[in-house]
Amino acid sequence: MKSLAVFPSSREVRLIDTPEPVVAGPTEVKLRILEAGVCGTDREITSFQYGTPPANCPHLVIGHEALGEVTDVGSGVTGLAPGDLAVPMVRRPCPHDRCAPCRRGRPDFCITGDFTERGIKGAHGYMTEFIVDDQRYMVKVPKELREVAVLLEPLTVAEKAAEQVRALAARLPGELKDDPSSLSAVVLGAGPIGLLGAMKLVNGGFHTWVYSRDSADSPNVKIASAIGARFVSSAEHSPVELAQLVGNISLVYEATGAAKVSFEVLSVLGVNGVFIFTGVPGVLAPIEIDAERIMRNLVLNNQVICGTVNAGRAAFEEGVQDLASFVKRFPAAVSALITARVVLDDARDAVLSRGGIKSVIAVA
Ligand SMILES: [Zn+2]
Ligand SMILES: [Zn+2]
């Protein structure tokens, strides 16, 4: 079968022929990949900044965002049958007994760093025709979500963030815990992670603002507007002006990977505010930040900064519910996130090129 692979040592990216995997254990599930999403992580891997092949393998099959159809199951599989749709999770636990998060099914909080991630670190990914994995890493998706379920994995960034916000809001007596309808949230960035986060926030009742450098007539900003979020251009308005427009900023969902603008917005976070970082910046030269102001605000305003990576099973399951809800509430906006669908033969070009919001490899 065809797979898109990177060869870090020879710096090549190409389609290769790999053996089709088979169900070998009683709890394994085989998926025919229907679609695989392309994201910034894939672009980093194919530009050799990131990505680790499995041990003793010269190449890594990339892709970590996928939707598949079950074609075969082991004798002990429950809850999934041939014909069902499923989305495979990304991270797999490390082998160490001392890692309580991995031993308790939360490798997204792994403490050893020896986890693997399919398509990213130490395990082949999903830009291929078939995969096999244990049922515990497969999340069933209703057939009605066939056209958009490839967005589930990027949505789980927002879902895990929401899980963190709920835990952090539990300390507060007020609205962030009980009723966000009087609160304002700011999304930094209008890429797929930002826009899916904005959908989650709008759906959760927040007054939602999107702050990005996109132009007001870009497709990204049109989607933000279509779902009822308000757009503020970071090219035209400073973070201080953003805060004047928004009022008390209770929540920031960072989805840019850009440190400078993120810390500038952190310096205008509101009373009892929570700032969630999801982006991974490149390691560039140090930047200047207003550390005194940020530290003063953190203390005097009871603020929390929280980073979050990857997602557990609950985030995937909540994401399935949310995708269904988004499709009901703003169907055109959800579909508009996918700006290109290309066949597997053209996957290399789709990964190496830029442009559009989300490109998807339509494998089957
Ligand atoms: Zn991704
Ligand atoms: Zn671990």
Question: Using one digit for the tens of pLDDT, what is the confidence trace for 324-354?
Answer: 999 999 999 999 999 999 999 999 999 999 8
Nearby residues of 65 by Cβ (< 8 Å), 6 or more positions away: 36, 37, 38, 39, 126, 150, 151, 152, 153, 154
Is residue 179 over pLDDT 90?
no
In the reported structure, the alpha carbon of residue 121 is separated from the centroid of ligand 1 by a whole-number distance in angstroms of 13
Query: How far is Cα 241 from Cα 210, in angstroms, rounded to an integer?
Result: 14
Task: Kindly give the interhelix angle for 219-226 and 192-203, rounded to the nearest 10 degrees.
Answer: 10
Report which of 267, 273, 258 is spatially closest to residue 289, judged by C-alpha positions.
267
- Tell me the CA end-to-end span of the chain in Å, nearest whole number: 12
- pLDDT (tens digit, 9 = 90+) per residue, 199-212? 999 999 999 999 99
Q: Output the pTM of the full model.
A: 0.96
pLDDT at res. 180: 82
pLDDT at res. 355: 85
Q: Where are the alpha helices (DSSP H) in the chain?
A: 40-46, 100-103, 152-169, 175-178, 192-203, 219-226, 239-246, 259-266, 291-300, 313-329, 331-336, 347-352
Token output for 70: 């079950």
Query: How far is Cα 60 from Cα 119, in angstroms, rounded to an integer?
Result: 7
Nearby residues of 346 by Cβ (< 8 Å), 6 or more positions away: none
Ligand with the closest atom to the CA of 155: 1
**Which residues are 60's β-sheet partners?**
6
Ligand with the closest atom to the CA of 91: 2
Ligand with the closest atom to the CA of 105: 2
Query: How far is Cα 160 from Cα 310, in angstroms, rounded to an integer?
Result: 8
Do 148 and 327 contact (CB within 8 A), yes or no?
yes
pLDDT band of 173, cuts 50, 70, 90: confident
Ligand with the closest atom to the CA of 108: 2
What is the sign of the dihedral through the CA atoms of 108, 110, 113 and 116? Answer: negative
Ligand with the closest atom to the CA of 127: 1
Do 86 and 70 contact (CB within 8 A), yes or no?
yes
Is residue 176 over pLDDT 80?
no
pLDDT at res. 354: 84
**In the chain, % of residues over pLDDT 90:** 94
Token output for 187: 């999304």
Nearby residues of 116 by Cβ (< 8 Å), 6 or more positions away: 54, 91, 92, 122, 123
In the reported structure, the alpha carbon of residue 100 is separated from the centroid of ligand 2 by a whole-number distance in angstroms of 7
pLDDT at res. 69: 98
Chain centre distance of CA 57:
27
- pLDDT (tens digit, 9 = 90+) per residue, 120-152? 999 999 999 999 999 999 999 999 999 999 999
- pLDDT (tens digit, 9 = 90+) per residue, 231-286? 999 999 999 999 999 999 999 999 999 999 999 999 999 999 999 999 999 888 89
Is residue 74 over pLDDT 80?
yes
Do 280 and 45 contact (CB within 8 A), yes or no?
no
What is the sign of the dihedral through the CA atoms of 21, 23, 29 and 32? Answer: positive
- pLDDT (tens digit, 9 = 90+) per residue, 217-245? 999 999 999 999 999 999 999 999 999 99
**Which residues are 91's β-sheet partners?**
117
Chain centre distance of CA 346:
23
pLDDT at res. 104: 97
Query: How far is Cα 159 from Cα 152, in angstroms, rounded to an integer?
Result: 10
In the reported structure, the alpha carbon of residue 51 is separated from the centroid of ligand 2 by a whole-number distance in angstroms of 18
Is residue 37 over pLDDT 90?
yes
Do 212 and 221 contact (CB within 8 A), yes or no?
yes
pLDDT band of 177, cuts 50, 70, 90: confident
Is residue 174 over pLDDT 90?
no
In the reported structure, the alpha carbon of residue 66 is separated from the centroid of ligand 2 by a whole-number distance in angstroms of 24
Mean pLDDT of the chain: 96
pLDDT at res. 77: 98
